[in-house]
Structure 1
Amino acid sequence: MSVTAAPDAVRMTHHGADFDALRRQDPQIAEVLLGELERQSDSLQLIAAENFTSPAVLAALGSPLANKYAEGYPGARHHGGCELVDTAERIAVERATALFGAEHANVQPHSGSSAVLAAYAALLKPGDSVLAMGLPYGGHLTHGSPANFSGRWFDFVGYGVDAESGLIDYDQVRTLARTHRPKAIVCGSISYPRHPDYAAFRVIADEVGAYLIADAAHPMGLIAGGAAPSPVPYADVVCATTHKVLRGPRGGMILCGSELAERIDRAVFPFTQGGAQMHTIAAKAVAFGEASTPAFTAYAHQVVANARVLADGLEAEGFAVLTGGTDTHLISADPAPLGVDGRKARGRLAAAGMVLDTCALPYGDGRGIRLGTAAVTTQGMRETEMERITALFTAAMREEGEETRKVRTEVRELAGRFPPYQG
């Protein structure tokens, strides 16, 4: 794609600053930007953690709010000239608390990991014991990886899933909690496709006197749209991202009750972060507003419907779908019955224009694949397209060389009928 013309989707004008200015000033970066837009437009984005933001969210991200330094919170900043960004943050907080039924929201975390770090900082001390889903079963890096701050600063114990069903073993969770008496229990994962039983986790946490932290980075958009149960009534703290299914800017947020509000806020600033990214906070406000509409509710339910059709199709084609299906937007599967492991499967699918991730498998040393339907649903795809994607998946897995190029052409044609951005 040439940088000689910019599509309306990436042309954003704020007091004369637009894409044309970038094209003139730095054509190399302009070429990267347009190339990425083209990549997103002519392939299928099936990474479970990705989505397409709206043009309104993109406009907020590319706004003059990016220029403003605003350490602190509305009404108590460490910099002058914050009256308008204070308004933006208050709007974001009000919309988040209303959308999720929470007493308090902090919308400043730069990412989901930053949100989890702040939650730990507010509730724990280094060396405290924490019970969370083990990484081989779908736990996140912040759930005790030795390469992450969580595994270095806290004593993590991992719970797993039942070997037969692939579902969380709540009896094991209870036994581990009674044995280790953790200061906090974390529920949430990056590849578990079923809804956690938040009420069961709450009972176990109360039994051992632990805080309950819900890491809802993946399902938060489904929760906003009423397509997944909410952890807010059960968890002491809920950490989340604002992208993924929620379809906002890349960033994080924290929800909690009023009794923990001050501790959470101080853990975000000044303990773990400095200045807030006000353009991102404004974009979060836009996304929260969009997520409160009937159209978003319909979208969230369609995401789940699409994922179930895709999971059923893949299982029928021979993939070993973990837990036998999905309740959410994501699917985890083992391609071994087709004669390949997760890494080779990802490579074949990428060559055909279908982009997804690998994931750990609960039992065994191999890798599986993890995919999601949030982005393709944003593009307008429905059950019929999921059936088509299943067929393309199977063809890409079983063919190489010239046949892969044929599949790539079909993928490009399908994606072209559902452009993420018009114009």
Structure 2
Amino acid sequence: MERLYQLILNPVENIPKLFQIHIDEFTKGLYISDKYKDDEINKQSKIAFSGRSEYSDKIRIIYNEWAKQLGAKSLSMRLLSGLHAHIVLFMGLGKIGDTILLLPESAGGHYATKKILERLGYNVLEMIPDNINYCVDIDKTKEIIYQREPQLIFVDRSEGIYYEDFSKLLDNIPDNCGTIFDASQYLTNILEKDFKSPFSMGFDILMSTLHKNFPGPQKALVCSKDDNIYWERIMDAVSSYVSNLHAENIFVAGQILKFQDILKTYSNRMLNNSIQLEKKMLEEGIPVIKRASNRIATHHIWIKPDNMEQAYHFYKKAEQCGILFNYRKLPYDLGYGIRMGTSAATLQGLNEQNLPELAKIISDIYYQTEISDSLLKRVQDYIKFLSPLNQ
């Protein structure tokens, strides 16, 4: 069978290869430090690797460039992925028995985070969802903070059609409460100043993957706006629990950050595509969850068929045509549906001119019981002739 052209319309995959980055093959597999080490430091180290200082210097330059773009003072990319970052960070940030206030899965939090934190010995409290407005109920959640006084607050937003400002939640919290924001779903938009920085909301620590919203390699970063006790704890944990920082992917991330013209266009277009595609799909009669126009839209879109079977059948029909969604249980008691995202599709060439046709295609897939040969060909022709953003 001839391989299908595919349009990635989920929010958690991306296409770094479109940037055509080439790095020194020699770096792959090397143990490279991101710390400055002179002869005296090396002499006192438990182990030292020769011939790596040039690469270490280059990594620190990349860190400085990323930190400047994010408004951070300190940054590290030693971490390998999002969940790896969760494990390492929270092994260092607190101790067994500490209390952490977490964005729950029911409000768009990552489904694995609570399990990880409980396994590490944390007492996990959950923020209160507002199932009407698809956000956190700030007032009710603040009551939990005042009553239970958690040592840590963690916003790990995996799913959401709005970008929430948590400034009011963090206002007047106890001084000894550390705050962490996972920016994996919003990293490019934060980098390019299309979304408010979590540091401006009052968060102490920002962490993120580099391979979801940002079109980078399989990697994670963590950074701090200033020197604080939480950054010290994280760096101590990273030094203990991460041996090889997989330097080749750090060099890839450094190169992609230099494509500022493309990244700025990508960030803006990704968000506009989401808003316009939602509008066009609603016009085509697709059961999209409609967003309020006065709130900040993300690149996520939710489709809510009548039941689980309809949702899954739609998901499989789209896959048959080469259009890739996420079938998943949506937050806020919405039940099973479809999660879409316009990040990778924007890099593939989705724009305001060609998305009306995509909305019509998605509508035909939704309403046709079975996929006809003519519809399959139409979808394949549409994907085939998209012009990638970087061209």
- Shared fold (TM-score, shorter chain, > 0.5): yes
Please list, as runs of the form range in 1=range in 2, the aligned pairs for 1:16-415 lying within 5 A after superposition: 42-54=5-17, 56=19, 58-60=21-23, 63-70=25-32, 73-75=35-37, 78-144=48-114, 146=115, 149-153=116-120, 154-203=122-171, 206-207=173-174, 209-233=176-200, 234-256=202-224, 257-260=226-229, 261-270=231-240, 272-290=241-259, 293-316=260-283, 317-321=285-289, 323-324=291-292, 327-336=297-306, 340-364=309-333, 366-403=335-372, 405-415=373-383
- Mapped partners of 1:421, 1:323: distance in 2: 26
CA distance in 1, matches of 2:208, 2:107: 20
In structure 2, the partner of 1:4 is none
- Residues of 2 paired with 1:221 and 1:377: CA distance? 13
CA RMSD, Structure 1 to Structure 2 (Å):
2.6
Alpha-carbon offset, residue 104 of structure 1 = 0.5
Report the 3-state secondary structure (helix = DSSP H, G, I; strand = E; otherwise coil) of the residue aligned with 1:321: coil
Deviations 1:190-248 (CA, angstroms, capped at 9, x unpaired): 111211213123216x2474211101111011111221111123211111011222211
Summarize the Cα distance change of 1:315–1:378 in structure 2 as closer, same or farther, 3 Å threshold. Answer: same
Gaps of 5+ in 2: 43-47
CA contact (8 A) 2:82 2:208 kept: yes
Return the structure number with greater helix share.
1
**Given the superposition, is the C-alpha separation of residues 212 and 281 from structure 1 closer, same or farther in structure 2, using an over 3 Å criterion?**
same
Asked if the contact 1:132/1:186 (under 8 Å) is kept, the reply is: yes
Give the Cα separation in 1 of the matches to 2:389 and 2:191: 23
Q: C-alpha offsets along residues 157-201 of structure 1, whole Å, 9 cap, x if unaligned?
A: 222432222222111221222233211111231111211213123
Q: Which moved more, 1:318-327 or 1:91-100?
A: 318-327
The residue type paired with residue 120 of structure 1 is F
- Secondary structure of the 1:332 match is strand
Deviations 1:346-403 (A, max 9, x none): 2121112110112333344731211111112112321132222211111111113343
Q: TM-score, structure 1 length as denominator?
A: 0.81
Identity rate, percent? 19
How far apart are the structure 2 equivalents of 1:180 and 1:357? 36
- Comparing 126-135 with 72-81, greater Cα deviation is found at 72-81
Report the Cα offset of residue 118 of structure 1.
Answer: 2.8
Residue ranges of structure 1 left out of the alignment (5+ in a row): 2-34
CA spacing shift, 1:230–1:309, aligned 2, 3 Å: same
Determine helix, strand or coil for the equivalent of 1:245. coil
Partner of 1:13: none
* Structure 1 residues 303 and 159, CA gap change in structure 2 (3 angstroms): same
Change in 2 beyond 3 A, CA 1:142/1:95 = farther
The whole-number CA distance in structure 2 between the counterparts of 1:224 and 1:194 is 18
Further displaced range: 50-59 or 280-289: 50-59
CA distance in 2 between partners of 1:411 and 1:180 (Å): 53
- Segments of 4+ in structure 1 off by > 6 A? none
Equivalents in 2 of 1:119, 1:99: separation in Å? 22
Between the aligned partners of 1:422 and 1:134, the Cα distance in structure 2 is 37
| C-alpha spacing 1:314/1:56, structure 2 compared with 1 (3 Å) | closer
In the alignment, the residues of structure 2 paired with residue 275 and residue 70 of structure 1 have an alpha-carbon distance, to the nearest angstrom, of: 7
Residue identity in the other structure for 1:239: M
